[in-house]
């Protein structure tokens, strides 16, 4: 097999596959992915993709909706690009073979929270799976795109890996590929390339409860940070208010999402003693925006020391529930829960990282030769809070832009790839026990959820920071003397991501968007009266 290519893409979600398909039109591409090719956040996306496709809708409305959600931190130019280039990318997805749901011969456009217009294209409630299917089909048909599964990128290669250029200043370094772990054969390989694209998705696994699958261990953020690329806005983690609570002790949990549509359908949130409580937090009650509902649930749980609360839909007709939510009904039933008769145990779960590797409008990072696209990138479109269904769109628009600029610049990558040594693990030992990984992963998730979750404070952030420093030292020591394996690499990355989240949160001396601190009021323009209510309630509890 050839391990030298024009472009290395890391990740096979929407961002990685779409970039690779576009680039394969003019260059050789190797795409590595750490599990099988379909396993990704993309595969679990339910709702859909936002785009201006109806004649009565307008770019200006979608831009405004996005900027309002972003709580003052969106980059207007990036948002404009996102919105204006979106419709062409959706058309391309359809051309590739994606089958979106139609109504009367047209795309069935639906509305979601925060959108002023019905502009969400979807494939029932399994949009991500359908998009992933179509992209994989297309990718499989391309000769100069080689997909290598069960291959986990460990670290990016730059001049710092060479013997003669290792002291080269950061500004002059270039990314020349990555060292990757062949998980099946347990050996490390180097893949060299002129251009490298990180499309590794999010970091939900930092937290105890997350809607993200086990792949979301923040590898891309950590690799880029170690290689010297800039990251930004890491404090803005979006929590989904209602994920199915499962008392799982597994290291890499993955909570099933109970869509917000259930509350839209009349679902009522109840505390442990069965009382509805949203009227105490917001006049919109159970239909308040995602972040407000998540904070309210967090306060109620902390007040009574409960691990979960309930969502009640039992007052609705059984046949209507089953018709509207077949996926949710069947999944809960498979867990022994009949949602037409029983309350659904729910907990807020980490869902989406708004920040990431800082990129320009062509997905270029601050490190030459390195691009980042999809959830791992910080394009500036989400600001302090992501508008629903904008993330799949962001992945499409900026992956396409990356491909365009790479097409025009790949031949300008100057000089030969420097001599890159093979991975050197001499002097390291095969681990005879992994308890240090399981224990530390659980500990990290627990304190990140308790101290750096939906509600933060200076005290909690300092406490988390001290624990991260301890874990970092312990894991680095273990890493240096051990032959690498997947969960070690992932824990090392989770610790680095936790550090980045806490560091960014400590730098932000205000509450804004998804970053809520008990020590700071929301800025005036956000003017959320809820603030006072929540703080009073909290102080009483």
Which amino acids are annotated catalytic?
A: 290
Candidate residues 12, 252, 385, 441; the one interacting with ligand FAD per rule CB under 6 A: 12
Q: Looking at residues 198 to 217 of the shown chain, list those that interact with ligand FAD (rule: CB under 6 A).
A: 199-201, 211-212, 215
Instruction: Report the residue number, 152 or 454, with the smaller CB distance to ligand FAD.
Output: 152
Q: How many CB atoms lie within 10 A of CB 136?
A: 18
438, two tokens: 């399981």
Complex with ligand FAD: residue 49 or 292, whichever CB lies closer: 49
Q: Which residues, at least 6 apart from 271, have a Cβ–Cβ distance to it below 8 Å? A: 277, 300, 304, 306, 309, 310
Residue 454's Cβ-count burial label (10 Å; 0-12, 13-18, 19+) is buried
Our finding on whether 195 is near ligand FAD (CB under 6 A) is no
Task: For the segment 400-439, give every residue that binds ligand FAD (CB under 6 A).
Answer: none
Between residues 198 and 269, which has the closer beta carbon with respect to ligand FAD?
198
Q: How far is the CB of 129 from ligand FAD (least distance, A)?
A: 11
**Beta-strand pair 309-312/268-270:** antiparallel
Q: Is 494 among the residues that bind ligand FAD (CB under 6 A)?
A: no
Q: Please select the residue that binds ligand FAD; options are 22, 30, 44, 262, rule is CB under 6 A.
A: 44
Of residues 221-280, those binding ligand FAD (CB under 6 A): 257
Verify binding: residue 384, ligand FAD, rule CB under 6 A: no
How many angstroms separate the CA atoms of 439 and 458, rounded?
26
Residue with tokens 């690799």: 223
Which of 19, 66, 391, 482 is in the footprint of ligand FAD by CB under 6 A?
391
CA–CA distance, 541 with 537 (Å, rounded to integer): 6
Number of residues that bind ligand FAD (CB under 6 A): 42
With respect to ligand FAD, which residue has the nearer C-beta, 255 or 440? 255
| Of residues 500, 234, 483, 278, the one with CA closest to residue 382 | 234
The one among 30, 48, 136, 460 contacting ligand FAD by CB under 6 A? 48
Rounded to 5 degrees, φ, ψ at 186 are 55, 50
Other CB atoms within 10 Å distance of the CB of residue 30: 26
20 sits in the region (left: phi over 0; alpha: psi -120 to 50; else beta) called alpha
- Using the rule CB under 6 A, give the single segment among 52-60, 158-166, 195-203, 334-342 that binds ligand FAD: 195-203
DSSP structure class, residue 212: S
83 binds ligand FAD (CB under 6 A): no
Rule CB under 6 A: say whether 302 interacts with ligand FAD.
Answer: no
Which residues in 344-383 contact ligand FAD (CB under 6 A)?
352, 374-376
| Stretch of 36-44, 67-75, 476-484, 524-532 contacting ligand FAD, by CB under 6 A | 36-44
Element (H, E) at 439: helix 435-451
CB-nearer residue toward ligand FAD: 155 or 312? 155
Q: Where are the beta strands (DSSP E) in 87-150?
A: 102-103, 106-107, 120-121, 145-148
- Compose the 456-475 pattern: x for residues touching ligand FAD by CB under 6 A, - for all others: --------------------
Label residue 466 exposed, middle or buried (CB < 10 Å: 0-12, 13-18, 19+): exposed
Q: Rounded to the nearest whole angstrom, what is the least distance from the CB of residue 128 to ligand FAD in the complex? A: 5
Q: Pairing between strand 151-156 and 49-50? A: unpaired
Q: Which is nearer to ligand FAD, 205 or 511 (CB)?
A: 205
- The kind and range of the H/E element at 65 are helix 59-69
Binding status of residue 482 toward ligand FAD by CB under 6 A: no
- Decide whether 11 or 453 has the Cβ nearer to ligand FAD: 11
Nearer to ligand FAD, 130 or 300 (CB): 130
The answer to whether 192 touches 429, Cβ cutoff 8 Å, is: no
- The residue from 392, 437, 491, 514 that contacts ligand FAD (CB under 6 A) is 392
Phi, psi of 268 (to 5 degrees): -120, 130
Q: Binding pattern to ligand FAD, positions 124-153, x when CB under 6 A?
A: ---xx-----------------------xx
The rounded distance, in Å, linking the Cα atoms of 13 and 250 is 24
Token digits of residue 199: 């499309």
Task: List residues near ligand FAD by CB under 6 A.
Answer: 10-16, 32-35, 39-42, 44-49, 127-128, 152-153, 199-201, 211-212, 215, 219, 257, 352, 374-376, 389-392, 395
């Amino acid at each position: 097999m050839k391990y030298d290519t024009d472009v290395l893409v890391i990740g096979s979600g929407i961002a990685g596959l779409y970039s690779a398909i576009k680039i394969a039109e003019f260059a050789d591409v190797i795409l590595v992915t750490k599990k099988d090719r379909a396993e990704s956040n993309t595969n679990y996306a339910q709702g859909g993709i936002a785009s201006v496709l109806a004649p009565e809708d307008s770019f200006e409305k979608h831009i405004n909706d996005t900027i309002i959600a972003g709580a003052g931190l969106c980059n207007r130019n990036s948002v404009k690009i996102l919105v204006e280039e979106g419709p062409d990318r959706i058309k391309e997805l359809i051309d590739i073979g994606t089958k979106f749901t139609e109504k009367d011969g047209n795309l069935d456009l639906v509305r979601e929270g925060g959108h002023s217009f019905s502009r969400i294209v979807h494939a029932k409630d399994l949009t991500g799976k359908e998009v992933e299917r179509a992209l994989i089909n297309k990718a499989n048909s391309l000769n100069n795109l080689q997909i290598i599964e069960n291959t986990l990128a460990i670290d990016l290669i730059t001049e710092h890996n060479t013997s003669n250029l290792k002291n080269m200043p950061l500004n002059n370094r270039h990314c020349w590929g990555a060292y990757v772990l062949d998980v099946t054969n347990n050996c490390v390989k180097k893949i060299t390339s002129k251009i490298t694209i990180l499309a590794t998705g999010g970091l939900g696994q930092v937290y105890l409860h997350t809607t993200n699958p086990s792949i979301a261990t923040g590898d891309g953020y950590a690799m880029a940070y170690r290689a010297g690329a800039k990251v930004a806005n890491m404090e803005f983690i979006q929590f989904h208010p209602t994920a199915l609570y499962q008392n799982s002790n597994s290291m890499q949990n993955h909570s099933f999402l109970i869509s917000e549509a259930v509350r839209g359908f009349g679902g009522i949130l109840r505390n442990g003693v069965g009382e509805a409580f949203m009227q105490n937090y917001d006049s919109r009650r159970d239909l308040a925006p995602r972040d407000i509902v998540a904070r309210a649930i967090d306060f109620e749980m902390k007040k009574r020391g409960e691990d979960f609360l309930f969502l009640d839909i039992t007052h609705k007709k059984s046949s209507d529930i089953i018709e509207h939510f077949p996926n949710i009904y069947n999944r809960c039933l498979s867990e022994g829960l009949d949602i037409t008769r029983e309350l659904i145990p729910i907990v807020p779960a980490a869902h989406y990282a708004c920040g990431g590797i800082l990129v320009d409008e062509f997905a270029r990072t601050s490190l030459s030769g390195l691009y980042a696209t999809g959830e791992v990138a910080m394009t500036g479109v989400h600001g302090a809070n992501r508008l629903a269904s904008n993330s799949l769109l962001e992945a499409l628009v900026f992956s396409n832009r990356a491909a365009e600029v790479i097409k025009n610049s790949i031949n300008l990558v100057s000089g030969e790839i420097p001599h890159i040594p093979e991975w050197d693990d001499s002097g390291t030992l095969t681990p005879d026990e992994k308890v240090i990984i399981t224990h530390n992963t659980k500990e990290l998730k627990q304190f990140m959820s308790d101290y750096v979750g939906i509600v933060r404070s200076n005290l909690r952030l300092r406490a988390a920071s001290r624990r991260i420093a301890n874990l970092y030292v312990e894991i680095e020591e273990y890493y240096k003397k051990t032959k690498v394996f997947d969960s070690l690499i992932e824990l090392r990355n989770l610790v680095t991501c936790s550090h980045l989240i806490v560091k960014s949160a400590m730098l932000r001396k205000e509450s804004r968007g998804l970053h809520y601190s008990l020590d700071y009021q929301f800025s005036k323009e956000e003017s959320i009266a809820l603030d006072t209510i929540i703080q009073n309630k909290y102080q009483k509890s």
